[in-house]
Structure 1
Amino acid sequence: MSMDKRILVVDDEPDVVALIEGRLKKEKYQVDVAYNGVEAIKKVEECIPDCIVLDVMMPEKDGYAVCAELKKNPRYEEIPIVMLTAVADHVSSTRYSHYDGMSMEADDYIPKGPDSTEQIVQSIRELLA
């Protein structure tokens, strides 16, 4: 089933992208990648993915801006978005928080960590079921 599902992975850290991409390919997903929010929007316009894994903190256009833009567009509003961030839930000195991610209509919000790739795979499975 996963072989016909396309996932867009968006993160400005190439190592993170490679790690997630490799894990998703193991699950037989087709994977596209983007390294910033502007590139992500272009990729979505070129080929609508079945799900997006979207980092919060990126240059040019952050994940919240990308999520908001996609969710406001009737053509893309149904694409499940899994927000991914290194910002801890309890950090109040930043504008990036779990609450902000969920209020942006993201479908899931996963902190980056040692087991985040497994959480991402599980989230995608559930969102695409």
Structure 2
Amino acid sequence: METYPHLNGKRILVVDDEPDILDTIEDILSMCTITKASGFEEAKAVLETTALDLALLDIMGVDGYELLAIAKAHGIPSVMLTARALTVDDVKKSYVEGASFYIPKEELAHIDAFLNEIFEDIAAGNNPWRRWMKKMGGFCERTFGKKWQQKDPDFWDNIPFY
């Protein structure tokens, strides 16, 4: 079993309207202190009152982008997690609105590795999106097509994660 030293003891809020996703993430991230929320109001209350190292936010079903704004206002790094909002626009929106990463639920089995790298990047002062492009570029090509970035070259060619 791989160890992820940057995850040990981290306080993470996981927000999803699917109980099995919450339980799966809690199991995978057993080295962390996990707070689970299944709806917007519950998650909002946790974000506003609890010291957290990261928020893992589902996009659909819980108003993930609104929760991202609240997390950002409280200085909490956030990761967007989605099964249905798999679009180039959602990747872009996640980046623009301040998420540290964007993870498709089909990559959930690797959530520990992704989050460990995010914490490593944050600790080193690096932009986690640099590693995102390296890790998720192939996924994006398979999902969105080979030239997915060419639909908005002014954006993709000018952001600092390459």
Runs of 4+ in structure 1 over 3 Å off: none
Number of equivalent positions: 114
Matched, 1:109 2:119: no
Coordinate RMSD, CA, aligned: 1.7
Q: Distance in 2 between matches of 1:34 and 1:84?
A: 14
Identify the residue that residue 15 of structure 1 maps to in structure 2. Answer: 20
Larger helix fraction of residues: 2
Contact 1:80 1:127 in 2 (8 A): no
Q: Distance in 2 between matches of 1:88 and 1:99?
A: 11
Matched, 1:127 2:123: no
Q: Distance in 1 between matches of 2:54 and 2:70?
A: 15
Find the structure with the greater CA-based Rg.
2
TM-superposed CA distance for 1:43, in Å, is 1.2
Q: Distance in 1 between matches of 2:12 and 2:67?
A: 16
Matched, 1:68 2:65: no
Mind listing any 5+ residue stretches in structure 1 that lack a counterpart?
Answer: 91-95
TM-superposed CA distance for 1:38, in Å, is 1.7
Identify the residue that residue 86 of structure 2 maps to in structure 1. Answer: 88
Aligned with 2:54 (options 33, 51, 56): 51
Identity %, equivalent residues: 36
TM-superposed CA distance for 1:44, in Å, is 2.1
TM-superposed CA distance for 1:88, in Å, is 2.2
TM-superposed CA distance for 1:46, in Å, is 2.8
**Cα deviation 1:44-77 (Å, max 9, x = unaligned):** 2332211111000124xx0001111222x2xx22
Q: TM-score, normalised by structure 1?
A: 0.79
Specify whether residues 50 and 34 from structure 1 end up closer, same or farther in structure 2 by C-alpha distance, changes over 3 A only: same
Mind listing any 5+ residue stretches in structure 2 that lack a counterpart?
Answer: 121-162
Specify whether residues 98 and 123 from structure 1 end up closer, same or farther in structure 2 by C-alpha distance, changes over 3 A only: same
Query: Alignment partner of 1:4: what SS?
Result: coil
Residue type matched to 1:85 in 2? T
Identify the residue that residue 35 of structure 2 maps to in structure 1. Answer: 32
Q: TM-score, normalised by structure 2?
A: 0.64
